[in-house]
Amino acid sequence: MTPDPQIRPFFDEATKTVTYLVWDAATLDAAIIDPVLDYDHASGEVDTRSVEQVLAVAGALGLKVVWALETHAHADHLSGAPYVKAKTGATVGIGEHIRDVQKIFRPIFNATDLKADGSDFDHLFADGERFHIGGLEVDVLHTPGHTPADISYRIGDAVFVGDTLFMPDYGTARTDFPGGDAGQLYRSIRKVLSLPPETRLFMCHDYKAPGRDAYAWETTVGEQREKNVHIHDGVSEDDYVAMRQTRDATLSAPALLMPSIQVNIRAGRFPPAEANGVRYMMVPVKLKDATTGTEALGPVAAR
C-alpha cells in the first residue's frame, strides 16, 4: 500500500485556484498540481510570483519536483507548468483526452501552430494508469464532464479532483463549455464518491458559498455524499442533469476564459509571435443578433 502523501496547498485568491505541492516524505520527490501563472488581462502582463512561492517552499523542504500535473485545461487561469518545468526539469502531465479539447478549440482560435495530438505535453495519462512520485503510487481516474479531458489523481488516502467537485456547500462544476456533459459529470462524480468514505478530496477551486466566511478546499467522500448541495446521495442522474443545465444557463463566462483556454491547450505555451515579435491573445467575436450587420462587419476576431 502506498504511503499517504505530504500535502501543502497554495491558494491564489485572484483566480480562486488551489495549487498543491505533494511529496513523498521518504524520497523527497514531489509534484506540483495545477500551478498558476499570474496574468493581468487588462495590461497583458505576466508574472511568476505564485509559482515562485511554491518552488521556494519546495526548495526550503529539500524537495525534488519531478512532475507538474494538470487536472485539465483550465478556463480560469493560465498554467504555470512550463515555468515549473524550466526551473526544475519536471515532466508535465495531463489526461490523454486533452487531444479532444485541442481539436474543439483549435478552429475557434485559428491555432494553426497546434497539432492537436497532445504533443505539447510531456505525458498523456490514460484512465487507470499508475505512476510514481518517489515511493507514492498515483492512480489516474478519468473524470470527464466539466471537460472531456478532466482527470483526478488518487495518491494514498487523497484524491485531487480538479474542477469535478467543489466543497459540499458549493456543489459541482459547470458543464456548458464545449465538450462538457452533465450526465458524464454525474457518472464521474459517482465514481469518485464510490471510494471509501474517509478518502480525502482536494478541490482545485473555492468561491466561499453564501454564509461561509473562509475559503476551504479539503473535504471527504463521506461528507460529499451526505452534504453536497448538488449531488448528495439520493440525487438521480436525471435530476442532476436538469439542475446542472438550468444553473449553467445563468452563468457568465469566466473572466480569463479566452486567454486561459488558448494558452492551456498548448500546455501553457503562448501563441506564436506575430511578425512584429509580439504575442497576442485572440478573442473570437460573436454578433448577438446574427441576422443584422454580418455583411458590413464580415468575419471578425479581436486580438
Give the start-to-end residue ranges of the domains of the chain: 6-302
pLDDT in tens, 182-237: 999 999 999 999 999 999 999 999 999 999 999 999 999 999 999 999 999 999 99
Measured between alpha carbons, how far is 159 from 163 in angstroms, rounded to an integer?
Answer: 12
State the chain's maximal CA–CA distance in angstroms.
66
The CA angle 24-29-34, to the nearest 5 degrees, is: 90
Measured between alpha carbons, how far is 95 from 210 in angstroms, rounded to an integer?
Answer: 33
Annotate 66-88 with b (16+ C-beta within 10 A) or e (fewer): bbbbbbbbbbbbbbbbbbbbebb
Phi, psi angles (nearest 5°) of residue 47: -140, 155
Taking alpha carbons only, the member of 119, 222, 247 closest to residue 171 is 247
CB 53 within 8 A of CB 29: no
Q: How confident is the model at residue 300 (pLDDT cuts 50, 70, 90)?
A: very low
**Cα separations (Å) of 110 from 182, 196, 271, 284?**
27, 45, 10, 9
Any alpha helices (H) in 74-193, and if so which ranges? Answer: 81-88, 98-108, 182-192
Please give the mean pLDDT across all residues of the chain: 94
Q: How confident is the model at residue 287 (pLDDT cuts 50, 70, 90)?
A: confident
Query: What pLDDT does 116 receive?
Result: 94
Query: What pLDDT does 286 receive?
Result: 80
CB 83 within 8 A of CB 58: no
Q: What is the mean pLDDT of residues 86-109?
A: 97
Q: What is the mean pLDDT of residues 268-294?
A: 83
Q: What is the mean pLDDT of residues 88-94?
A: 98
Q: Which CATH number does the domain 6-302 belong to among 3.40.640.10, 3.10.20.520, 3.30.565.10, 3.60.15.10? A: 3.60.15.10
